[in-house]
Amino acid sequence: MIILTLNCGSSSAKYQVYDWESKDVLAVGIVEKVTIGGSFITHKAKGKEEVVFEHDCPTHTDAINLIIKTLTSKDTGVISDMSVIKAVGHRVVHGGDKFTKSVIVNNAAMEAFAEMQDMSPLHNPANIMGIEAAKKVLPDVPHCATMDTAWHQTMPPESYMYAVPSEWYEKYHVRRYGFHGTSFLYTAKRAAVLLGQDPFKTNLIICHIGNGASVNAVKDGCSFDTSMGITPLEGLIMGTRSGDIDPALPFYIMRKTGMSAAEVESALNKKAGLLGMTGKHTDRRDIQAAAVAGDKTALRAQYIEAHHVRKYIGAYQAVLGRVDALVFTAGVGEFAWFMRNKILENLDGIGIVYDPRRNEMSHTRNTETIISKPESKIPVYIIPTDEELVMTEDAYALMKGNYDTHTHFTYSFQSKDYVNKGRAEGLKAELAKNPGLAEIIAKPK
């Protein structure tokens, strides 16, 4: 049985093909520059070289058709035809407070996703287009949606309520929702495995840091607080998003410049963050290179970003009381050792003692690592996320009718014997080139 997962952004469509019987990833890829011209697909099939080729995709339907053509092609394909695909899993960023778990997509679900577009204008419209396009191409299989917000529905009122007029909450659903939930679910379950603890007796601070970034306080295995808010703009400094600011700042800028509310909203989402501070960079590798070359603006941006992450780590330790582990995940969290260095500096006072040498060695997606010193009261793990696997397992369980919220459902990756075959193969190749990596591999207790 083959399960396809799709993650459609405003101008992209990521995909993964998973063989349920062999528990293996057959192919992954992404179509970029959808709707804006110059579209191209990057496709990697198991056992084959990565291929990149251009193909115009003026709509998401065109992108889905390109993905299907690539998957069934004699040269690049991994399946004979689309009839072998028995379910499709979709990522939806904002599900509001209507969903506590993944669902089979029906008209009511699509209406709910559409209602949330004002709260996630950069993501939900694209997610909806992707679902509609996929259903046109694959009309006879179940389509399942996994919402980033669902994981955070366990937060208590003290975490999700804003101090605003109560009618805003009652009429307009103004509250903290949080995002990156699928990633937090996976990494929280894996952290409990590494710690050798009952997942529902485990407290964690998880830093999901990519172009978008957020921190999650996990109490007794469930989301307790998180840095993103009613939209993905709140919280940490991100690639192009401002993160936390004085709420009066937009009004001040509107008065000073004459900018409209829409223009300020766009600037805070697309022109702020690291791009705003450096004037040209969003990729941390570029910022690091500039900082090493003596660019004071880039160096300042690094320290400001790290400062904000440290503040949340300290705040969430106070909120949780006991912290069993600190976890880094997502592209920057997994690979940018120089950013982790800056974030982890001077945390000895709260029981986090990292090893700079071990930290610099950890830049892989093929294994989980530990970068703290033995004397650290709180271990620091790097856990490569796997949102696609969560979506795949949710879709399969929904199709079979045995799915439930994560508090009443067990994933395959919750076993200490779980192995990701593709990552295991990649790790072998890495160890052959860098045997020292074995020293920092985190093993279940």
The CA-atom distances, in angstroms, between 153 and each of 98, 101, 180, 366 are 9, 9, 13, 30
For residue 39, tell me if it sits in a domain. Answer: yes
What pLDDT shows up at residue 117?
A: 82
What pLDDT shows up at residue 123?
A: 81
Contact 143, 88 (CB under 8 A): yes
Chain center to CA of 37: 26
Secondary structure, 3-state, 342-353: HHHCCCHHHCCC
For residue 264, tell me if it sits in a domain. Answer: yes
pLDDT along the chain (445 residues), means of 10: 88 90 93 88 91 91 90 90 91 90 94 86 83 88 95 98 97 95 97 98 97 96 97 94 97 98 94 94 91 95 97 97 97 95 95 97 96 97 96 96 95 95 92 94 94
For residue 317, tell me if it sits in a domain. Answer: yes
Which residues constitute the domain of residue 351? Answer: 198-383
- Give catalytic residues, as residue numbers: 148
Rounded CA gap, 61 and 34, in Å?
10
- Please indicate, yes or no, whether residues 231 and 127 belong to a single structural domain of this protein: no
What pLDDT shows up at residue 11?
A: 76
- Please indicate, yes or no, whether residues 379 and 395 belong to a single structural domain of this protein: no
pTM: 0.94
Helices within 107-222 (DSSP H only): 107-115, 124-137, 157-160, 166-172, 181-195
For residue 243, tell me if it sits in a domain. Answer: yes
- Please indicate, yes or no, whether residues 241 and 364 belong to a single structural domain of this protein: yes
What pLDDT shows up at residue 115?
A: 87
- Please indicate, yes or no, whether residues 271 and 254 belong to a single structural domain of this protein: yes
Phi, psi angles (nearest 5°) of residue 189: -65, -40
- Please indicate, yes or no, whether residues 6 and 32 belong to a single structural domain of this protein: yes
For residue 311, tell me if it sits in a domain. Answer: yes
- Please indicate, yes or no, whether residues 254 and 139 belong to a single structural domain of this protein: no
* CATH code, 393: 3.30.420.40
Per the structure, how many domains does the chain have?
A: 2
- Please indicate, yes or no, whether residues 394 and 350 belong to a single structural domain of this protein: no
* Pairing assessment for the beta strands 325-329 and 369-370 based on DSSP bridges: unpaired
What pLDDT shows up at residue 80?
A: 87
For residue 442, tell me if it sits in a domain. Answer: no
Q: Give the residue among 273, 147, 150, 151 at the shortest CA–CA distance from 204.
A: 151
